[in-house]
Amino acid sequence: MSTQHETAAARPPDTVSSVVRQWQAVRPDVDTGPMEIIGRINRCAALLQQAEDAPLRYAGLTRAEFDLLGTLRRTGRELTPGDLARETFSSGAAVTKRLKQLQERGLVARRGDTRDRRVSHLSLTGEGRALVDEILPQQLSYEATVLAGLDGGRDAELSTLLGELLSQLEGRLGGPRA
């Protein structure tokens, strides 16, 4: 049975490997196992956020804007700005700013609530729906290319493991649950 450290030796070094080696040199008494996982998740997330999402960029959208449009598309119903903030793990202020830009582009429609003037309901316009439907397959293809370096079947394994971690964290730390 191989250990995590033996498995790591079989793959090319990454930034976290270097950090772990440094910690092990100065603090050999500390278990760096959690850092090896959390550090890699954080580093992957940072790199993915920095990566240029070609299909989105071509459409003039940021990933955060596409997340709002995609949320409206996949739920198939009107949502409030608060709903969108919760669904996309964004701040209310960030959602408000993005929605303003998407409305100006004619991708999102806003309807006031008849009972409470402070509440607005948002939906995709026909143009917004068409854009999401056009970009989604292109974006998924792009993301598949990003993950193509994982050997056969390992992407499913990684997805399962990350799903287990996410479910556990959402249970302990809060957040949306399906």
Could you tell me which of 117, 16, 14, 140 has the C-alpha nearest to residue 66?
Answer: 140
Write out pLDDT tens, residues 94-127: 999 999 999 999 999 999 878 877 889 999 999 9
Q: Which helix (H) or strand (E) holds 120?
A: strand 120-124
State the pLDDT at residue 9: 55
Distance CA 170, CA 165 (A): 9
Q: Which residues pair with 109 in a beta bridge?
A: 123
The number of C-alpha atoms within 13 Å of 19 and in the hemisphere containing its C-beta is 14
Distance CA 54, CA 59 (A): 9
Q: For the chain, give the percent of residues with pLDDT over 70.
A: 90
pTM: 0.77
Write out pLDDT tens, residues 113-167: 788 778 899 999 999 999 999 999 998 998 888 888 887 778 888 999 999 998 8
Q: Which two tokens stand for residue 65?
A: 């804007």
DSSP string, 17-77: HHHHHHHHHH-TTS--HHHHHHHHHHHHHHHHHHS--HHHHHTT--HHHHHHHHHHHHH-S
Q: What are phi and psi of 123, to 5 degrees?
A: -150, 165
Distance CA 73, CA 141 (A): 19
